[in-house]
Structure 1
Amino acid sequence: MPPKHRTALPLAVAALSLGGVFTFSPSAAAADTGTPNGDVIANLWQWNWASVAKECTDTLDPAGYGAVQVAPPQESLRQADHYWWDVYQPYSYKLDSRFGSAADFKSMVDTCHGAGIEVYTDAVINHTSAQTGTGYAGTAITNKYDTPDYDPADSDDCTKTISNWSDQHEVQHCELLGLPDLDTSESGVREKIAGFLNKQIDLGVDGFRIDAAKHIETADLNAIVGALHTTGAGDAPYITQEVYPGTPPATGDYYDNGDVLDFTYASAMKSQFGGGDIANLSSFGSSWGLADEEHSNTFVTNHDTERNGDTLSYKDGATATLANVFQLARGYGRPSVYAAWKFDQSDQAPPGDGDGFVSDTDCSGAWACLDRDVAITGMVGWHNAAAGKPVADWQSPASNVIGFGRGDVGFVALNNSSSAHTHTYTTSVPDGTYDNVVGDGSVTVSGGKVELTVPAKGAVAFHTS
């Protein structure tokens, strides 16, 4: 429900125990009007276009999300086992994919725009497919260097697989996992890439996640970004880039192009919520080695890190949910909330039919829809209300228990311990009674104090809007 400031006086402290993923009723969401859209990105990874469109209308807009990030829309490799990573092996720039037809894609974009949600696509522009065969639109490839969009001369001269990750030239000019590396130093190649992205912008797409940006020279990528059309709203498209830290090139080299995915942020969430003490987060910020705040696109998990164990994932249940609550409350960079499917094996494809086409998202079954979790939808609104306000009133009354506010607009308490915790917190939020936006009930602030009982692996949050 939308947060409300109430004048009723009774104290009723209630909270949500984050014991799992709670589904958010679309019918309830549709009735939840008046929540403004902010900057939070819902990363609906490999949802089909029809399901994305429905989620924009039923959940993302009512909760106050600002954008949806979707899977690579181009035609990709289709092999018998239908692995998830097939979509990162482009066959052609046709917008017919395992997620739906070009018409389905356009309908999704239009529907999301109608709900006030921007659309960002995953742009696989560093390489073409390492495997020959047939794509989802029927394109046949017999030579991995010769595709409908590129011929062998468009690939980099280095055809070996990257092995020396300390050699920046090798990282950016040789083949990532045997994927033919496009020679982006050539103007003709850059024009083709920009043309593919501009085709999407002209259909209404508002921005891009640049896959494998680390493997593209930053000057080349800057030239591609500079050639992009403005969006339908008249803005430059939003850009966020996949640049793993730790080996050259440096993350900061890409700031001129847009935001970067903040892998260090995600690692910090695991280290503190997954075995550390969240009280340590009192000093959380750029001193932790995070990407520059102005260019940080934060996340708790993504499709790679949930599989390699570098970050928390849906398999961590309440712990991962609570880390997302903190992400939305703390306010650093631009946050993403990740929702995908449950998996038993790393290569496992999303649920689909026998031909590999992805089925409609079923949040009561094979999918883990964190974007709908009551705690997350409540905190998206909280995050929007607190935007621009400084962290205030930080308190840690016990190990793995914290409370803090954002100016005088909102306050949140998080309990990452194994038992409930009660404490009287100091808050700058004005006296009054407020809805607990992550669960049922209300809280009352009196004399700048609020007594909260926060359940194990749970949170309480309220704000004035």
Structure 2
Amino acid sequence: MSMSPTPPPRARRPLATALAVGALALGGVVTLPTPGAAADTGAPNGDVIANLWQWNWKSVAKECTDTLDPAGYGAVQVAPPEESLRQADFYWWDVYQPYSYALDSRFGSAADFKSMIDTCHGAGIQVYTDAVINHTAAQTGTGYAGTTLGNRYDTPDFDPADSDDCTKTIANWSDQHEVQHCELLGMPDLDTAEQGVRDKIIGFLNKQIDLGVDGFRVDAAKHIETGDLSAIVGALHKTASGAAPYVTQEVYPGNPPAVGDYYANGDVLDFTYAAAMKSQFGGGDIANLASFGSSWGLADEEHSNTFVTNHDTERNGYTLSYKDGATATLANVFQLARGYGRPSVYAAWNFDQSDQAPPNDGNGFVTDTDCAGGWTCLDRDTAVTGMVGWHNAAAGAAVTDWQSPASNVIGFGRGSAGFVALNNSSAENTFTYTTGLPDGTYPNDIDGGATSVTVSDGRATLTVPAKSAVAFHATR
């Protein structure tokens, strides 16, 4: 399996009008967390990343304590924290046009940012930020901290000499030099080959680490030479835990440079994985997933940061999105069950137009997340939170007992740790599965234990509703 070599359009400018808003969860129901949860529940935290895209800092902090820690998430990925372009229409992509490295943004103040980090750490959740270090802003104006730019090459952090010599917009995506040295959608490309430029970027990232940040999603990593990025990553401070910061990189596959060129720097966002989820859950047959793995053209498993959708791909149609309702949720269930790479669960907001800003106060500042009022809180969905715990319990176990009793119906285990059956068809399905689990009665992780499963002689008869799943695991 492979993706088109032509990169999808980067969403830094208006895209086509989106489809109407659809259901989010399996059955269209989102379960809200219990308010007032303790700062740390003691639940084991695994490796699943909650990508709370463009949530404000206060809402992220609350989610860490109320939802992410109790469910067993390991980390939260948040929006770019630096000051960015602020324009009258408040597009979402404003935050990918940095104005300064001040940590005052549309998501809150520097104090709010620090408070969020401390709160999430108190709940056992690591914090990764979106690092926009390839470029500065294409548009002049005023930023969220009051910085005014009259020259897009001259910012509080960089002067014109810090930009690459190529000032044309990338047009030939097959020319690696052009891709890495010219301007992405008109945004000045920083000359990361210069030590002075590297030092400024390193200083910005280390400032965040010193505040407690545990890692970074490197935006537009494909547009930075791997050697330059390696020099930057190599100069980063250790995190509060004493470890090197986690790094995942945005590298579209297809045209040069190759995805594998970036493995030395950390993980890569696995766009091929996300495309496969759409091709099989969104119109194919999930029974085909029996052979799913590196042979499908995925990123190397050791370096794959998987996802079902993200902010670019849910807008350009490259992947499933919340508009696909239960189908997208079911794909997330599979992602958490299958155990390839490091999984991310994406939660953002409803949109009617592709460059629509997140819910805000009318001045561009993002308001508190309201899952009943415009936000798509997939990270809270009962099926997803149940599967985060299932995923943690099954960590390290091989995929076993693969069965497909009908088209778009599958079941498989992870050794004796857990079993899951998924039904992506339009009709209920009943089948007796070989589970690999010890005999006994187990709560169904998909519905939060409202129903249970009985295993006898290693087998279980499961009735799986259309566009739903049944999952259960042994306690470790």
TM-score range, shorter chain: over 0.9
Q: What is the match of residue 462 of structure 2? A: 452
**8 Å contact from structure 2 (residues 40, 123) kept in 1:** no
1:49 to 23, 45, 57: 57
Structure of higher RCO (CA pairs closer than 8 Å, 6+ residues apart): 1
Report 1:365-376 matches (<5 A). 365-376=373-384
2:388 alignment partner, SS class: helix
What is the match of residue 442 of structure 1?
A: 452
CA root-mean-square deviation: 1.1
Q: Which amino acid aligns with 2:474?
A: T
Deviation, 1:28, is: 9.0
Deviation of the 1:26 alpha carbon: 2.5
Residue deviations 1:125-171 (CA, integer Å, cap 9, x gap) = 00000000000000000000000000000000000000000000000
Deviation of the 1:19 alpha carbon:
1.7
Shift of residue 280, structure 1, vs aligned partner: 0.2
Tell me the CA shift for residue 56 of structure 1. 0.1
Name the aligned partner's letter for residue 462 of structure 1.
Answer: F
Equivalent position of 2:114 in the other structure: 106
Counterpart code for 1:312: L
- 1:176-215 → structure 2 map (5 Å cutoff): 176-215=184-223
How many pairs does the alignment contain? Answer: 449
Residue pair 2:437, 2:455 contacting (<8 A) in 1 also? yes
Q: Which residue identity does 1:209 align to in structure 2?
A: R
Asked if 2 retains the 8 angstrom alpha-carbon contact of 1:121 and 1:209, the reply is: yes
Structure 2 letter corresponding to 1:89: Q
Which residue pairs with 1:26 in the alignment?
34
1:323 maps to 2:331: yes
Deviation readout 1:410-433 (Å, 9 max, x if unpaired) = 000000000100000001110000
Write the letter of the residue equivalent to 2:321. Answer: S
Change (3 A) 1:237 1:313: same
Corresponding residue for residue 224 of structure 2: 216
Q: Which residue of structure 1 lines up, in the alignment, with residue 12 of structure 2?
A: none
Moved more, 172-181 or 26-35: 26-35
Q: How does 1:325-404 map to 2 (within 5 A)?
A: 325-404=333-412
2: CA distance, partners of 1:20 / 1:217: 43
Normalised to the residue count of structure 2, the TM-score between the two structures is: 0.93
> Paired residue for 2:424, among 413, 416, 419?
416
CA distance 1:435–1:184, shift in 2 (3 Å): same
1:96 is paired with a residue of what secondary structure? coil
Question: Could you say which residue in structure 1 is the equivalent of 2:153?
Answer: 145
Q: Structure 1: 5+ residue runs without aligned partners?
A: 1-16
Matches within 5 A, 1:33-112: 33-112=41-120
Q: Distance in 1 between matches of 2:323 and 2:169?
A: 32
- Residue 352 (structure 1) shift: 0.2
CA shift for structure 1 position 18: 1.4
Distance 1:404 1:116 in 2: 31
Report the alpha carbon displacement of residue 96 of structure 1 after superposing the two structures with TM.
0.1
The answer (yes or no) to whether the contact 2:163–2:191 under 8 Å persists in 1 is yes
| Residues in 1 aligned to 2:344 and 2:39: alpha-carbon distance in whole angstroms | 24
Counterpart AA for 1:451? T
Contact kept? 2:428, 2:464, Cα under 8 Å = yes
Q: Return the letter of the residue paired with 2:159.
A: D
Q: 1:432 and 2:462 equivalent?
A: no
Residue matched to 1:156: 164
State the AA in 2 paired with 1:402.
I
1:240 corresponding residue in structure 2: 248
Q: Are 2:181 and 1:173 equivalent residues in the alignment?
A: yes
Answer yes or no: is 1:464 the counterpart of 2:453.
no
Q: Residues 407 and 227 of structure 1: is their aligned pair in 2 closer, same or farther, counting only changes over 3 Å?
A: same
Amino acid paired to 2:341? G
1:365 Cα deviation from its structure 2 partner: 1.2
DSSP-derived class of the 1:228 partner: coil
C-alpha displacement of 1:77: 0.3
SS of 2:45's partner is coil
Q: Which amino acid in structure 2 is aligned with residue 168 of structure 1?
A: Q
**Deviation digits for residues 36-83 of structure 1 (CA, Å, limit 9, x no counterpart):** 100000000000000000000000000000000000000000000000
CA shift in 2, pair 1:21/1:252, >3 Å: farther
- Alignment partner, residue 5 of structure 1: none
Structure 1: distance between partners of 2:473 and 2:459: 14
Q: Is the 8 A contact 2:40 2:124 kept in 1?
A: no
Q: Is the 8 A contact 1:99 1:358 kept in 2?
A: yes
User: Match of 1:447, as an amino acid?
Assistant: D
